[in-house]
Each structure stands twice: as structure tokens, then as C-alpha cells.
Chains A and B, each alone.
Chain A
Amino acid sequence: MSEEKLPESHGSAGEVADHGDPFADPGLPAHEPRRTDIDERAAKRAERQVSLMFVISMLATVGFIASYVAIDPDKIVYIFPLGHVSALNFALGMTLGVALFLIGAGAVHWARTLMSDVEMPAERHPIEADDEVRADVIQQFRTGAAESGFGRRKMIRNTLIGSMALVPLSGVVLLRDLGPLPEKKLKDTGWKEATPQKPLQLINMSTNSPMTADDIVIGSLTFAMPQGLHTHDEDFQQRIAKDALMLVRIAPEDIKDDTSKELGFQGILAYSKICTHVGCPISLYEQQTHHALCPCHQSTFDLADGARVIFGPAGHPLPQLKITTDEKGFLVATGDFDEPVGPSYWERAR
């Protein structure tokens, strides 16, 4: 703030109280009029400026509507710092921005030049009411309580307390699926339809066709879903959120976990793609280290070692699906995962 605005420097007749007291309250500086307060022409000019801003804002809104109607959504233009952008997006953003900005700028300009700017000090008082008012309120409360007979009519009181105590239950009902009720819903996946008599084929999600063991080579990564699930199905997203598999093939001598090796087929291992932390789809697979990473919180699973968690917040290894081949040589599953896929929940056995 520049010197001249300080009370002393312009020698105004501020209400400076007592010169003997170095910490005296300097009081308010004298009110200074603005040019628009004393010069009618300046005031008129400010008025015109404010209305001009509002008018331009109106024009910009009209421009917004016009560009929405007129500009071809596919048209691309070159605008310097942005590069090639969609003409429509640019026009919409610009006109709306100008329209909103000028309303604000006009309002600020109006307040600063034309509305009253007289300083209005408001002194602070303690917030509590004085004793008289308080006594009165307490008295009224007592009278009210006496009139309602709350203390006397025990039945009303007790039922009221009962109803108030029960209301929160509706919240419990609404939020119940956060609690111990999903039970089976999370326990099994679409693979549960598979039985040793009627195995389910593993369908490659890129080609939508079943795969033979030879299709999966060492170092490759393939995503699979159960036979009978189609991307057009209404509940596809619901189901693939539990059924998704990632298939890797690891040289059998590199597989460190024996159970894992048995669940696989000639080194082909089928793991759930759903992170056991909070359920993100994981598949950042490093084929040399056999580590799979979750992009959400960096849980890292060692797929060569039964998908053991080697880093990060996940609490369980990735469930592995037992796979084999059918008589035509296609990879199939003969049952569900033997533990639930995805994050932990209350009824989970381990």
C-alpha cells in the first residue's frame, strides 16, 4: 500500500485521539470521495462502462448459442498456444468464459465506482445474551415443558424416545451391504458353472474364441473370460468384474509354488485379474520377473510364486483357477476359484 494512503502522510483530519499516548487508537482516516462521487461525468462514464460489460456479456451468450448451432463439431482449427483444437469446443469455452467473466467484472466495477463506499464500522459485542433474556428463555422453556405434560405423560415420552432410537435403523438398512450381508455374492464367480463333467472353456477376450495350450507361449499375456459370457450381455460389466482372468505361461522349472504349478496346465497359469486390495483390474505384467502390478496402489504379486504379495497393501495372493484341456485340446476350467476373488470382506474365510 502506498504511503499516501496512510492517515499521517496525507495529514487528513483523522480522529486521532490523544497525542500523549503512543499507542492511542488512531481512529478512522477521514473518508475520501471517489472521482465518481464528486464528478457527475465520471459517474456517467462508469455507468456506461458497467453497462458495456453487461452488454458484451449478453453478446457473448448469444455467441455461445450461435456457435453451438453453427459450428460443425468436426471442424478443427489451429490456434496458437493450443495447437489443433476443435473449433466448436474453443468457441463454446471462449464465449461462455467471456459472458461469465464480464458479469463478474461489471459487478465489481459497479461496486467500486458507483455503490456507496462510506466506511461503516460495526463494533463487536460479546455473543451471549444478557442475564435477563436468559432467565426469560429458561422460564419459557419450563412453562412449555409443563404445558406439554412431558414429564407427566410417561407413555408419550417413552414412545417418543423409542421412535427416535429406531430411526437410525433405516440408515443401517440402506448401508447394509457395507456390512456382513453380501455372503455368497462375493464368494463365487461365473466359473462356478464349470464342473469336471461340463467344463467351461476359457475364451480369449481379444479374439472371442477358445484357446489351445499351444496358443499361449512363454512370456505372453492373454486375458480370458468364461465361455457363455458375451460383451453385449446386459450384466457383462457386473460379471467380468469377478470373472476376468489373466493367463501367463511360465517355464515349469521357474514356477516356485507346487500347488500353483498343479493348478496350471504345462506352465500356463490362470490368475484372477482382480486385485485383492480393493479390486482394481491388475495386469501390469513384467514377463522377465513374473511380477504383476496393480496400478491403483502398487500391490505387486509374484506370479511365479503363487501370486504371493511381495509389495503393497493387498492382503491375499491372487486366487488361481485350476485349468486343464478338454478332448479337443482347448483350455478349460473344471470349477470355480477355491477362494473368493477380489478384496477381503467379513465372511471371507481367510
Chain B
Amino acid sequence: MKKLSARRRHPLAALVVLLLALAATGGLYAAFAPADKAQADVAAQSLAIDEGKKLFAVGCSSCHGLNGQGSSDGPSLVGVGSASVDFQVGTGRMPAQQPGAQVPRKQNIYTQAEIDQLAAFVSSLGPGPVTPTKEQYTSTNPEDISKGGELFRTNCAQCHNFAGQGGALTKGKYAPSLEGVDAKHIYEAMQTGPQNMPSFPDTTMPEEQKKQIVAFVRHTTSDEPNPGGLTLGSLGPVTEGLFGWIFGLGTLIAVAIWVAAHTTKAKKS
């Protein structure tokens, strides 16, 4: 200490103090700044949850209960996760218009921001599948389409038809057509298994494969050229046979009648 105080009046003492002070400030900043940012995130998140809770109270609570605990009219939402909310609300299925065998897709009335807030609230109730990011469901590799086709035929075609046109289930339920469905929503449906669709969690169907299936579905149901012309609904032999019998045979019969009804007598011509 003596030494230190002896040098107190050294000409460079002020400089040393200054440097020390600077280092301390920098260190303090480094120590506190990220914490501040994290706090800001948490704040934004809790704000979203608050907003979501308000939206939930208005739009969803009459069936799912004020805290999403569920009631006789709607299942508990604890643990369904944000992907489920994004799918159900984003495709207009929720809020449901009326109870029934199946809640159909309809016009979505929420903005994406509101959906995100609702999702934030619902995922705060319990952890569940998280809304996928764009990279997760957008494929850039053309090979994915054929791989996805194989997976689609193993896992999806039985209900949704080989060309994604959908099909009937029991008692008024149905597997909807996949035409014009967002890549994100297809992905989320596989993650969460909405309504009577079974789910295909990452443990049995890894992300990569879901992406391939999405690539196939988008390729097949979008305005892709159809090599043969009329698809007749891509329903297979039913519509094709009907078309053949009615239009094909019909034309032949009409031609035969025309030929027989028009004589070539001199008087007529």
C-alpha cells in the first residue's frame, strides 16, 4: 500500500486510473448487456402471451375453457403446442362454426400476428410441437419429390388418395383434399395430427421426410402440367370409366345414328 500511495502523484497515475475505469465499464457492459436483451425477449414473449390470452378469451374460451383446460365442448389445449394452433386457426378450422363429425376448412379471420399471439398463449400452457420454420418445410432438392412420393404412398395415400385429392372416412368424416394447402399447414398437420388424422411425430417420421412429403404434395396438387390432359378429378377408374361409357360410347352411338339417318338418295341431296 505504501508503494501504491507513494506513486499517487506519479505523472502517469491519472492515465492508469483512466484505463482501469474504462476496462471496468467495458466488463460491466459485457456482463449486463445480454441480460438486458434476454429480459427484453422475455418481456416481448410475455406481452404476446398476454395478448394471446385476451384473444383466446374472446374466440376460444367458450369451448376450451378460460385457461385452455378444456370442457365438454372442446378438448384441453395443454400440450398441443404452437404448431397445432397455427394449423387450426391458420386454416380457419378454429374457431369452429358448429360441432359436427368434422370441422371443415374455412376463411381464416385472424392475422398471422394474432395467430402467433394465440399460439404463444397456448404453448405457455404446456410444451408441444412448435410451429416449423420456413427451412423446415421448403425443399430445394428436386429429388425430394420422388422420395416424398414413396413416403406419401406408404403413409398418406390410403386416406388422401394417390394424388392428394382426399377421400371419405366413416360417419361423415373425411380426409380433405390437399390441393392448395400451404406447405406449412401440411407440415403442421403431420406434426400434430388434427381431428381424426393420426400424427407423424419426428420420432417416427423425421423432419427431413416430412419436408419430402410436403415437396411431393405441393408438386402433385399444384398447377403442374398433367401429361395426359383431363385429370377427371384424379379419382382413378371411377370417373375415367364413367367418362368412357358416357362420352366415348355416347359419341359412337351418336355417329352411328347420324350415319343411319342420313341416306344418300338422289332426291334428298
Contact = CB atoms under 8 A, between A and B. Distances in A.
Interface of A: 1, 4-5, 10, 32-39, 76, 79, 81-86, 89-90, 108, 112-113, 117, 204-207, 211, 214-217, 219-223, 248, 281-289, 291, 293, 295, 300, 311
Contact of A32 (B170, B225, B267): B267
B241 interface: no
22 contacts: A32-B266, A34-B266, A34-B269, A76-B225, A76-B227, A82-B230, A84-B225, A85-B226, A85-B229, A86-B228, A108-B259, A207-B205, A215-B203, A220-B204, A221-B155, A222-B204, A223-B154, A248-B198, A282-B158, A284-B167, A287-B197, A289-B196
Contacts of B225: 76, 83-86
A221 B34 CA distance: 44
B234 to A, nearest CB: 13
Contacts of B126: none
A83 B203 contact: no
B201 interface: yes
Among B209, B228, B229, find the residue whose CB has the most chain A CB atoms closer than 10 A: B229
Given A33-B266, A39-B266, A206-B154, 16 more contacts: A5-B265, A84-B226, A85-B229, A89-B229, A108-B259, A112-B259, A112-B264, A215-B201, A216-B204, A217-B203, A221-B198, A284-B158, A284-B159, A286-B170, A287-B196, A288-B195
B97 to A, nearest CB: 19
B204 A215 contact: yes
Contacts of A293: 169-170
Nearest to B263: A5
B160 to A, nearest CB: 10
Given A37-B266, A108-B259, A287-B193, A207 B209 contact: yes
Given A220-B193, A284-B169, A206 B151 contact: yes
A205 B175 CA distance: 22
A217 B265 contact: no
B178 to A, nearest CB: 15
Contacts of A81: 230
B59 interface: no
Nearest to B159: A284
B206 interface: yes
Most chain A beta-carbon contacts within 10 A, residue among B195, B201, B204 = B204
Nearest to A220: B199
Contacts of B228: 85-86, 89
Interface in B182-210: 193, 195-201, 203-206, 209
Contacts of A216: 203-204
A83 B264 contact: no
Interface of B: 151, 154-155, 158-159, 167, 169-170, 173, 175, 193, 195-201, 203-206, 209, 223-230, 259, 261, 263-267, 269
Nearest to A310: B170
A229 to B, nearest CB: 14
B70 to A, nearest CB: 14
Contact of B170 (A85, A86, A291): A291
**Pairs A-B, 4 closest by C-beta atoms:** A221-B198, A84-B225, A215-B203, A86-B227
B154 A286 contact: no
Contacts of A4: 267
A285 B198 contact: yes
A36 B206 CA distance: 77
A38 B209 contact: no
A116 to B, nearest CB: 12
Main SS class of interface, A = mixed
Looking at B175, B200, B266, which has the most chain A CB atoms within 10 Å of its CB? B266
* Interface class of chain B by DSSP: loop
B200 A221 contact: yes
Contact of B209 (A117, A206, A248, A285): A206
A216 B175 CA distance: 22
Query: Which of A82, A284, A287, A289 is packed against the most chain B CB atoms within 10 Å?
Result: A284
B267 A288 contact: no
B142 to A, nearest CB: 13
Contacts of A311: 170
Contact of B198 (A76, A215, A219): A219
Contact of B264 (A82, A113, A205, A222): A113
B137 to A, nearest CB: 17
Nearest to A36: B264
A350 to B, nearest CB: 27
Contacts of A207: 204-206, 209
From B197, B198, B267, residue with most partner A Cβ within 10 Å: B198
A35 B269 contact: yes
Nearest to A114: B264
Contacts of A113: 264
Contacts of B263: 5, 112
Given A113-B264, A204-B204, A286 B169 contact: yes
Contacts of B159: 284
A139 B224 CA distance: 77
A79 B205 CA distance: 40
Contacts of A5: 263, 265
A106 to B, nearest CB: 13
Contacts of B204: 204, 206-207, 211, 215-216, 220, 222
Contacts of B269: 34-35
Nearest to A35: B266
A162 to B, nearest CB: 48
Nearest to B231: A83
A82 B154 contact: no
A289 B267 CA distance: 75
Contact of A206 (B158, B205, B223, B229): B205
